[in-house]
Amino acid sequence: MTGVASAPHPTPLLGKVVVVTGAARGQGAAEAEALARAGAQVIATDIAAAPGCRHLDVTSESDWSQLAAELEESYGQVHGLVNNAGITWRARLGEVRPEDFARVHAVNVTGPLLGIQHLSPLMPPGASIVNVGSTAALTAHYPVAYTASKWALRGLSRTAATELGPRGIRVNSVHPGYIETEMTASAHPAFRMANIRETPLGRTGTVDEITPLVVFLLSDDSSFISGAEIPVDGGLTAHGGVKSVSDAPRTEAGG
Ligand code: NAI
């Protein structure tokens, strides 16, 4: 063996300007902090007020164009975008109203579309976009408006990776499993326990288990990764729904 292994760069995002949506709390807030620790100039945005957070409603074209104009003026370029803002709506198939279906789609899909449309013109080769999907995007999760929106976001991500690739811009998706945030705090306790049962690692995840992947995907360390979809879910989606089937003989045997 030759050479000496070098330590990972502590600030892989030094000099990069990165926009995070939905950064007032939860995963977005943790991502904004981690990206700043990695050296990025972070523009944290949200509709909710929070210290250090700039107002941006992801569904508003004028909010996005104003942000793009300001960033062009201040920095000239944008190197990263984390489309993290998202909402859920827990109505089932038979109950969901078209207006709620459309509202969820507007935030979870049109929001990322507008972000990409307005900021990608400012992106140089090497820039990176991360879309925050969900394991709902890989399964038949019951809140149909949310599930359909996250599947649509997968389609948007892949088209964007294809369209922007020739300009050297990468687009990837992360698919969190059950992460403890205010979004999941409002879920039924039985839903949480069922998720834990279906998760091979046997627990829920934390926001700090999402952020290292987001930092990696925004850094040049992932320079040949584009169009990828990476679950961060403790193994939830890997078994394709057969965990209880696999566990059954063991349970029957009492072991
Ligand atoms: P959260 O509800 O704690 O935070 C979401 C943030 O988005 C809030 O600060 C909210 O104000 C903001 N937001 C909502 N509508 C917005 C809009 N129109 N414009 C700008 N910001 C807006 O949720 P959490 O858990 O941090 O979720 C972050 C992302 O991760 C979402 O896209 C969510 O769908 C996704 N996700 C969450 C999972 C979880 O278990 N918590 C699992 C899988 C995916």
pLDDT of 236 > 60? The answer is: yes
Looking from the CA of residue 178, the nearest atom of ligand 1 is: 40
According to the model, what pLDDT value does residue 78 have? 99
pLDDT confidence bin for 6, thresholds 50/70/90: confident
Strand-pair partners of 205? 179
Q: State mean pLDDT over 4-21.
A: 88
According to the model, what pLDDT value does residue 253 have? 61
Known catalytic residue: 75? no
Distance 133 CA to ligand 1 centre (A): 10
Task: Render the chain in DSSP notation, one character per residue.
Answer: --S-PPPPPS-TTTT-EEEESSTTSHHHHHHHHHHHHTT-EEEEEESS--TTEEE--TT-HHHHHHHHHHHHHHTS---EEEE---------TTT--HHHHHHHHIIIIIHHHHHHHHHGGGPPTT-EEEEE--GGGGS--S-HHHHHHHHHHHHHHHHHHHHHGGGT-EEEEEEE-SB-SHHHHTS-HHHHHHHHHH-TT-S-B-GGGTHHHHHHHHSGGGTT--S-EEEESTTTTTTTT-HHHHHHHHHHTT-
State phi, psi for 103 to the nearest 5 degrees.
-65, -45
Q: State mean pLDDT over 13-24.
A: 98
pLDDT of 154 > 90? The answer is: yes
d(CA 83, CA 132): 6
pLDDT of 175 > 70? The answer is: yes
d(CA 154, CA 172): 9
- Average pLDDT taken over every residue of the chain: 96
To test the pocket of ligand 1, the residue of 27, 236, 237 to mutate (highest count of ligand atoms within 8 Å of its CB) is: 27
According to the model, what pLDDT value does residue 122 have? 98
pLDDT confidence bin for 2, thresholds 50/70/90: very low
pLDDT digit string (tens) for 73-117?
999 999 999 999 999 999 999 999 999 999 999 999 999 999 999
Catalytic residue among 75, 142, 146, 178: 146
Distance 183 CA to ligand 1 centre (A): 7
Q: Tell me the C-alpha to C-alpha distance, in Å, between residue 168 and each of 120, 161, 225, 226.
A: 11, 10, 11, 10
Distance 87 CA to ligand 1 centre (A): 5
According to the model, what pLDDT value does residue 251 have? 74
pLDDT confidence bin for 4, thresholds 50/70/90: low
Q: State mean pLDDT over 30-46.
A: 98
State phi, psi for 179 to the nearest 5 degrees.
-110, 135
Distance 27 CA to ligand 1 centre (A): 7
User: What type of residue sits at position 31?
Assistant: E
Ligand 1: residues whose CB is within 6 Å? 21-22, 24-28, 46-48, 56-59, 84-87, 107, 132, 134, 176, 178-179, 181-184
To test the pocket of ligand 1, the residue of 60, 83, 87 to mutate (highest count of ligand atoms within 8 Å of its CB) is: 87
Contact of 30 with 207, CB cutoff 8 Å: yes
pLDDT digit string (tens) for 105-153?
999 999 999 999 999 999 999 999 999 999 999 999 999 999 999 999 9
